[in-house]
């Protein structure tokens, strides 16, 4: 799509107010983000103009992805193990040069149709020709499309072709039946050892036309240099080269010898040091070190003396004896006559410093001629070697070679020196040159393997590039239902749930530090699988849990991980990163925490009691064992009778605890049900008050869930947060459900109906039922005997001081007496201390306070009646005041004894201000509440 050159660049904040500038891109709103879809050809061709800040990712690793590895290797141009936005753009541009309709890649087909190949560009024409050649070679029936297998097989077959169109001719491409084949093969092999080679598409080293021309120029230079050498005045004729090589080895030692002799003449006292005599005494192992050739080669050539010439026959260092013998043979003509007059092997030749300098000057022209010898490039010492069958030893050339060579020879000068003049003439013959040029021409006429490689690359990009773009430029594959993103590793099945958001993890600790910012509940699992050969494979994944609860997920729990290839792995839970999972979990979290807290405290209490009992048992056992003899001698102590007064405090504490708990629940229940038909709304308000803060906090955290930190921890560079909303989070984790239409049978063989049919369960059930009946009978007997209910029941029934006022029967003030109510301290007849014909039984068990009997704490009788439930109407005379005073004193004494045991429990009950129960009245220091004081003014005054 053409763009307006007047439009500002996309990376600026300027916008054209008059109209649209640049291409039109299509976006789709998904999970609160705008995702680019690349649905038109213009969007593909102008992808570089899309603002990079709108891309979902800027780079991703080439590992840990559920994506074609060969396509990733093609996209990773710099081979650094990462795919970057620049490489994505280069791949799109390369694709658009060869395909006319790139938007058709949205079909994600594995076959490449030939009708989308461009015929208006050289790249498209070459790929089209290669595709047609592949279809012809493979004999495919469908000539309109090429698949990946066809391109790969054609490329593999072309690797064995002698001619592949690249213009490089290896020695293996030379035909054996050709008459000039031997000469061409020798030309290529020699060229590789002298100037190196190019890489053929088959991977073998060879020569192309340019490198072959460079090799011929080098051979011409060598032949010219040799001709100069032959025409020059050589000091020793044919032996000059050998003598020069000997001088290069022996020259430094001769110079060292004559320098030491000059030093001995200048300073005779240094003669022992010059002969290195002191070093012999310092050797730890003189015998072994002295006779080693390595040690001798570092010592002087002969014994040093002032002004002494070098004897070339006797007294020579054994390490240099062979070289000195060769020196006598080669340089005998240049040495002065022997002193003994002998010739041949018996001649006693000596060499002084003046003669040595004369020999060096004699070889100076030859040294200058050697400086003109052609130089050749050799492989660096650290270069990687290359070896192949039938090829000379080579090394890989470094990048940036001036001639573009891929191979370099390790020793080119030695290879040139081994060539004779006849071999040079054969290599430079016109026949050899023409034969090699013919092979190059035949290779260039063959189809190029580069076109076949481009065809294979195009097939791969046609099938996979759009998938990568929808996971790089946008995350449409992740947000689109039914598609799978390339960073999803598989599905984890654990705790009756399946987690589909699973990513590969290299280092758990490093991954956790960054992935925690995603606010996802993450499960890190170690996955193990064995293949058919028995080899064990391991992998580590991180799975996001977005439904249910994580209460039962602990380290070491096992599950099954199924990768995208359908292969099952045994998974073990390594670590759990806990975050809010859902609003349902947050709703019940306070109650679960409270239940866990209560359960934990009970467990601690039981554990403490069990430990105390165990310690007491241990002490008792040790004391019994230690004092067994003394215990046998002493008489058994007399068993003390049970004293209920000592246990009254315990009973009082238990009664107070039960009363407080029951009173709390009773108060709550009365408060709720007193609202009438508004009590369901009250329950909802209480429920909202308890669960509301947890739900609100969870709601904020769930809104912050993001995929970005999770991918960043896996090596991605994510541009935006990639949020995960409530709907998407619920879809990422599936909870086990019955299939539609399933039928459920409630005939549980281990349920309560079935268990009641069992004899043992039936006996237990009957036993429990009998105990309940016995408890009810005991309660009824207590009521019948004492004429009133137990104190804890009365406390439950009459816990509120104004209970009778709630039904509208008592609307007076606390100081007034309602109709039908008995005034405090008066009987039904209206006289103090009397009750007419009613016989009032003293309440000895209530601590001497008659006001704490069955009457309401406010002074009103239950249900508006004037006679309390504890009174009898048998016609007997009422008890006089003296008898009541005596009974009150006795109950006070009993309460004093019980108070020593009850302790703080009874004092806490007294602080409530409510009427005292029977056991509470036994506690010393316990004062009646306001209700009790109003009910018994006479007792209070006394």
Concatenate the DSSP letters of all residues of 875-903 into one string. Answer: SPPPPPHHHHHHHHHHHHHHHHHHHHHHT
Range name among 402-416, 731-745, 923-937 with the lowest pLDDT average: 923-937
Mean pLDDT, to the nearest integer, of 420-438? 92
* Range picked from 458-467, 685-694, 790-799 for highest mean pLDDT: 458-467
The pLDDT value recorded for residue 644 is: 52
Could you tell me which of 2, 81, 115, 43 has the C-alpha nearest to residue 466?
Answer: 43
By C-alpha distance, which of 483, 482, 463, 485 is closest to 718? 485
Q: Does 8 score more than 60 pLDDT?
A: no
475, 523, 525: which is closest to 728 by C-alpha? 475
302 in helix, strand or coil? strand
Q: What is the pLDDT of residues 30-61, one digit of tens each?
A: 888 888 999 999 999 999 999 989 999 999 99
Please say whether the dihedral angle defined by the alpha carbons of residues 482, 487, 493 and 496, taken in this order, is positive or negative.
negative
Give the pLDDT band of residue 688 (cuts 50, 70, 90): confident
Of 234-238, 656-660, 854-858, 915-919, which range is least confident?
A: 854-858
Which segment of 405-414, 432-441, 482-491, 729-738 scores lowest on mean pLDDT?
729-738
Share of the chain above pLDDT 90, in %: 30
Question: Where is pLDDT greater, at 144 or 624?
Answer: 144
Alpha carbon 846 to its chain's center: 71
Instruction: Give the CA-trace dihedral at 216, 220, 226, 230, to 10 degrees.
Output: 140
The Cα angle at residue 833 between residues 827 and 838, in degrees rounded to 5:
50
Residue-level pLDDT at 487: 93
pTM of the model as a whole? 0.58
- Look at residue 785 and tell me whether its pLDDT is greater than 50: yes
Share of the chain above pLDDT 70, in %: 73
Query: In the predicted model, is pLDDT for residue 490 greater than 90?
Result: yes
**DSSP class of residue 723?**
B
Strand ranges (DSSP E) for 636-758?
717-718, 733-735
- CA pseudo-torsion sign 197, 201, 202, 208: negative
Residue 842 exposure: Cα atoms within 13 Å on the Cβ side: 19
Whose structure tokens read 């105990």?
771
Evaluate whether 359 touches 334 at the Cβ level (below 8 Å): yes
What is the pLDDT confidence band of residue 877, given thresholds at 50, 70 and 90?
Answer: very low
- Alpha-carbon gap, residue 145 to 917, rounded angstroms: 98
Provide CB contacts within 8 A for 867, sequence distance 6+.
828, 838, 861, 873
Mean predicted confidence (pLDDT) in 526-537? 92
493: CB partners within 8 A, 6+ apart: 559, 560, 561, 562
State both tokens at 532: 């058919």
- List residues bridging with 510 in a β-sheet: none
Residue 761 pLDDT class (50, 70, 90 cuts): low
Gap between the Cα atoms of 539 and 529, Å rounded: 9
The pLDDT of 515-544, averaged and rounded, is: 93
Most confident listed range (18-27, 29-38, 628-637): 29-38
Residue that has been written with the tokens 């054209």 in this structure: 16
Report, as an integer, the average pLDDT of 512-529.
Answer: 93
- Outline where DSSP puts E strands in 566-675: 568-577
Q: How confident is the model at residue 446 (pLDDT cuts 50, 70, 90)?
A: confident
468 is written with which tokens?
Answer: 């990568």
Cβ–Cβ < 8 Å for 289, 295: yes
Overall residue count recorded for the chain in this entry? 942
703 band by pLDDT with thresholds 50, 70 and 90: confident
CA pair distance 730, 332, nearest whole angstrom: 101
Q: Output the pLDDT for position 797.
A: 58
Q: What pairs with residue 60 in β-bridges?
A: 83
- Distance CA(128)–CA(121), nearest Å, equals 11
CA 61, 63, 68, 69 dihedral sign is positive
Regarding predicted confidence, which is higher, 555 or 941? 555
Strand extents, DSSP E, 637-783: 717-718, 733-735
Best CA proximity match to 108, nearest among 71, 61, 154, 153: 71
Is 70 exceeded by the pLDDT of residue 340? no
Q: Return the sign of the alpha-carbon dihedral for residues 808, 809, 812, 815.
A: negative
Q: Among 557, 549, 602, 607, which Cα is nearest to 579's?
A: 549
| H or E, element range at 492 | strand 490-494
pLDDT of res. 631: 52
Mean pLDDT of the chain: 77
> Is the four-CA dihedral 452, 457, 459, 462 of positive or negative sign?
negative
What are the b/e assignments for 897-923, b being 16+ CB within 10 Å?
bbbebbeebbbebbeeebbbbbbbbbb
Q: Answer yes or no: is pLDDT of 941 > 60.
A: no
Least confident of 255-264, 356-365, 538-547, 856-865: 856-865
Q: What is the pLDDT of residues 567-621, one digit of tens each?
A: 999 999 999 999 888 888 888 888 888 888 877 887 887 788 778 878 887 887 7
Task: Name the more confident of 528 and 686.
Answer: 528
pLDDT at 404 over 80: yes
**Within 10 Å of residue 338's Cβ, how many Cβ atoms?**
17
Binned at pLDDT 50, 70 and 90, residue 657 comes out as: low
Q: Which two tokens stand for residue 534?
A: 């028995």
DSSP assignment letter at 472: T
Question: Looking at residue 922, what is its pLDDT?
Answer: 42
Whether 205 shows a pLDDT value over 90: the answer reads: yes
Residues 872, 336: Cα–Cα separation, whole Å: 164
H or E element at residue 311:
strand 310-311
Q: Which of 123-127, 847-851, 898-902 has the lowest mean pLDDT?
A: 847-851
Residue 628 has what pLDDT?
Answer: 55
Report residue 588: phi and psi, to 5°. -95, 0
Tell which wins on pLDDT, 153 or 573. Answer: 573
Give me 561's structure tokens.
């991980």
CA gap 52, 60 in Å, rounded: 15
Gap between the Cα atoms of 936 and 850, Å rounded: 7
**Under a CB-based contact definition with an 8 Å cutoff, are residues 159 and 448 in contact?**
no
């Amino acid at each position: 799509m053409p763009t307006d050159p007047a439009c500002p660049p996309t990376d600026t904040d300027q916008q054209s107010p008059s109209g649209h500038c640049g291409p039109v891109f299509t976006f789709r709103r998904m999970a609160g983000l705008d995702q680019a879809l690349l649905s038109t050809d213009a969007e593909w061709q102008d992808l570089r103009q899309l603002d990079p800040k709108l891309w979902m990712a800027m780079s991703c690793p080439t590992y840990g992805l559920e994506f074609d590895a060969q396509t990733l290797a093609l996209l990773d141009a710099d081979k650094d193990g990462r795919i970057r936005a620049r490489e994505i753009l280069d791949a799109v541009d390369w694709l658009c040069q060869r395909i006319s309709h790139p938007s058709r890649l949205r079909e994600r087909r594995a076959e490449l149709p030939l009708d989308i190949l461009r015929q208006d560009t050289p790249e498209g024409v070459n790929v089209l020709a290669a595709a047609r050649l592949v279809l012809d070679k493979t004999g495919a029936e469908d000539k309109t499309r090429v698949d990946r297998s066809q391109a790969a097989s054609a490329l593999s077959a072309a690797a064995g072709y002698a001619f592949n169109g690249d213009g490089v001719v290896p020695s293996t491409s030379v035909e054996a039946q050709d008459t000039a084949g031997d000469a061409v093969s020798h030309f290529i092999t020699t060229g590789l050892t002298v100037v190196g080679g190019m890489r053929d598409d088959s991977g073998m080293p060879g020569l192309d036309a340019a490198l072959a021309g460079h090799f011929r120029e080098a051979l011409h230079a060598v032949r010219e240099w040799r001709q100069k050498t032959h025409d020059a005045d050589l000091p020793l004729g044919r032996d000059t080269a050998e003598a020069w090589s000997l001088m290069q080895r022996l020259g430094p030692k001769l110079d060292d010898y004559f320098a030491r002799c000059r030093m001995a003449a200048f300073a005779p006292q240094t003669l022992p040091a010059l002969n290195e005599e002191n070093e012999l005494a310092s050797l730890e192992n003189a015998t072994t070190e002295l006779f080693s050739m390595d040690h001798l080669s570092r010592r002087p050539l002969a014994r040093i003396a002032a002004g002494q010439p070098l004897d070339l026959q006797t007294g020579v260092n054994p390490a240099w004896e062979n070289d000195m013998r060769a020196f006598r043979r080669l340089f005998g003509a240049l040495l002065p006559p022997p002193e003994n007059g002998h010739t041949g092997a018996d001649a006693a030749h000596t060499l002084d410093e003046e003669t040595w300098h004369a020999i060096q000057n004699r070889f100076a022209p030859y040294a200058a001629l050697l400086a003109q010898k052609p130089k050749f490039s050799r492989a660096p010492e650290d270069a990687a070697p290359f070896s192949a069958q039938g090829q000379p030893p080579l090394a890989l050339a470094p990048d940036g070679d001036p001639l573009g060579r891929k191979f370099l020879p390790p020793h080119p000068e030695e290879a040139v020196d081994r060539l004779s003049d006849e071999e040079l003439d054969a290599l430079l013959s016109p026949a050899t040159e023409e034969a090699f040029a013919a092979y190059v021409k035949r290779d260039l006429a063959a189809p190029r393997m580069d076109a076949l490689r481009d065809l294979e690359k195009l097939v791969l990009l046609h099938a996979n590039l759009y998938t990568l773009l929808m996971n790089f430029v946008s995350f449409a594959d992740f947000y689109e239902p039914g598609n799978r993103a390339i960073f999803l590793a598989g599905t984890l099945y654990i705790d009756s749930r399946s987690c589909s958001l699973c990513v590969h993890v290299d280092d758990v600790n490093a991954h956790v530090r960054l992935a925690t910012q995603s606010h996802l509940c993450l499960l890190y699992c170690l996955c193990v699988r064995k293949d058919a050969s028995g080899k064990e494979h391991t992998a580590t994944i991180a799975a996001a849990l977005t439904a249910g609860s994580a209460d039962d997920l602990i380290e070491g729990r096992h599950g099954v991980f199924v990768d995208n290839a359908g292969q099952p792995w045994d998974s073990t839970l390594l670590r759990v990163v806990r975050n809010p999972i859902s609003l349902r979990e947050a709703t019940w979290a306070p109650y679960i925490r409270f239940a866990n807290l209560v359960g934990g405290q009970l467990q601690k209490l039981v554990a403490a009691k069990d430990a105390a009992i165990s310690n007491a048992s241990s002490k008792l056992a040790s004391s019994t064992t230690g004092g067994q003899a003394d215990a046998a001698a002493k008489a058994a102590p007399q068993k003390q009778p049970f004293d209920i007064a000592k246990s009254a405090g315990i009973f009082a504490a238990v009664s107070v605890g039960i009363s407080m708990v029951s009173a709390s629940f009773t108060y709550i229940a009365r408060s709720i049900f007193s609202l009438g038909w508004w009590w369901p709304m009250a329950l909802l308000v209480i429920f909202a008050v308890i669960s509301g803060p947890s739900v609100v906090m969870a709601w904020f955290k769930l809104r912050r869930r993001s995929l970005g930190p999770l991918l960043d921890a896996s090596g991605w560079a994510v541009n935006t947060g990639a949020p995960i909303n409530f709907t998407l989070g619920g879809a990422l984790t599936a909870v086990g459900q019955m299939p539609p239409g399933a039928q459920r049978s409630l005939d549980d063989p281990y349920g309560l109906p079935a268990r009641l049919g069992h004899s043992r369960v039936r006996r237990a059930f009957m036993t429990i039922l009998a105990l309940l009946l016995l408890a009810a009978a005991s309660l009824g007997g207590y009521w019948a005997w004492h004429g009133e209910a137990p104190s804890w029941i009365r406390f439950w029934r009459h816990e509120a001081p104004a209970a009778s006022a709630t039904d509208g029967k008592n609307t007076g003030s606390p100081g007034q007496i309602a109709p039908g109510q008995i005034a405090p301290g008066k009987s039904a007849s209206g006289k103090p201390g009397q009750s007419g014909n009613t016989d009032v039984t003293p309440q000895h068990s209530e601590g001497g306070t008659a006001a704490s009997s069955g009457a309401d704490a406010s002074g009103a009788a239950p249900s508006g009646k004037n006679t309390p439930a504890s009174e009898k109407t048998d016609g007997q005379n009422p008890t006089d005041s003296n008898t009541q005073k005596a009974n009150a004193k006795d109950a006070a004494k009993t309460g004093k004894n019980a108070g020593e045991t009850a302790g703080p429990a009874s004092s806490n009950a007294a602080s409530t201000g409510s009427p005292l129960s029977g056991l509470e009245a036994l506690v010393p220091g316990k004062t009646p509440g306001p209700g009790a004081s109003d009910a018994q003014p006479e007792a209070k005054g006394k």
